[in-house]
């Protein structure tokens, strides 16, 4: 899809977002359907977000690791993305190195969780730094995050 409403960078290129999934996200499809919904696997989730990105004119690079250092390495090697979407998975409580690496990119990022972790009394370390947190919408939250991030990068706020 290429038209006047397709999100683009200032130099006219397609937007590029990284989709990061952290610890324990590889268990999608085997987790509680009441919380995680009907998504069959992490690959199915990545495909859904990538396909939606293509529909709205955003190139999505998906990356997953159960090791925080791998996520930090990915961010340092890909700090030129236009934005980031992250489900930190099990890093929500102690993922400061990943959060700091996201901050250091200087680019906007959205934190996504399948469940509303706040309802369980948990607080994510990422929430203090991200532009938006999307929770409780299962895999649909990723789509909302992608579309919102594309719209906000394309039309930045003015003060």
pLDDT tens digits for 15-34?
999 999 998 888 888 887 87
Tell me which residue has tokens 């939606």: 52
Q: Please tell me the CATH superfamily of domain 15-153, with its number.
A: Dehydroquinase, class II (3.40.50.9100)
Is the pLDDT at 8 greater than 70? The verdict is no
Range 36-40 average pLDDT: 85
User: Residue 108 has what pLDDT?
Assistant: 96
Please check the confidence at residue 2 and state whether its pLDDT lies above 50. Answer: no
Q: How far apart are CA 159 and CA 41, in angstroms?
A: 41
DSSP secondary-structure letter at 8?
Answer: B
Cα–Cα distance between 89 and 72 in angstroms, integer? Answer: 14
Q: Is the pLDDT of residue 130 over 80?
A: yes
The mean pLDDT value of the chain amounts to 88
Helix axes 96-105, 68-77, angle to 10 degrees: 10
Among residues of the chain, what percentage have pLDDT more than 70?
A: 90
Amino acid 70: pLDDT: 97
Residue 154: per-residue pLDDT: 81
Distances, alpha carbon 16 to alpha carbons 73, 124, 127, in Å: 18, 25, 22
**pLDDT above 60 for 1:** no
> pTM for this structure?
0.88
Q: Please tell me the predicted confidence (pLDDT) of residue 3.
A: 46
Residue pLDDT, tens place only, 48-97: 999 999 999 999 999 999 999 999 999 999 999 999 999 998 888 788 99
What residues act catalytically? 36, 113
């Amino acid at each position: 899809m290429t038209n006047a409403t397709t999100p683009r960078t200032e130099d006219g290129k397609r937007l590029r977002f990284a989709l990061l999934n952290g610890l324990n996200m590889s268990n999608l499809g085997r987790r509680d359907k009441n919380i995680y919904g009907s998504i069959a696997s992490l690959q199915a989730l990545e495909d859904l977000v990538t396909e939606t990105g293509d529909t709205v004119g955003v190139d999505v690079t998906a990356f997953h690791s159960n090791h925080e250092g791998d996520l930090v390495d990915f961010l340092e090697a890909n700090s030129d993305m236009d934005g980031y979407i992250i489900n930190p998975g099990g890093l929500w409580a102690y993922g400061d190195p990943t959060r700091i690496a996201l901050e250091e990119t200087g680019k906007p990022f959205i934190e996504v969780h399948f469940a509303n972790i706040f309802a369980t009394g948990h607080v994510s370390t990422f929430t203090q730094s991200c532009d938006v947190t999307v929770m409780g919408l299962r895999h649909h939250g990723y789509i909302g995050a992608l579309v919102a991030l594309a719209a906000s990068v394309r039309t930045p706020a003015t003060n």
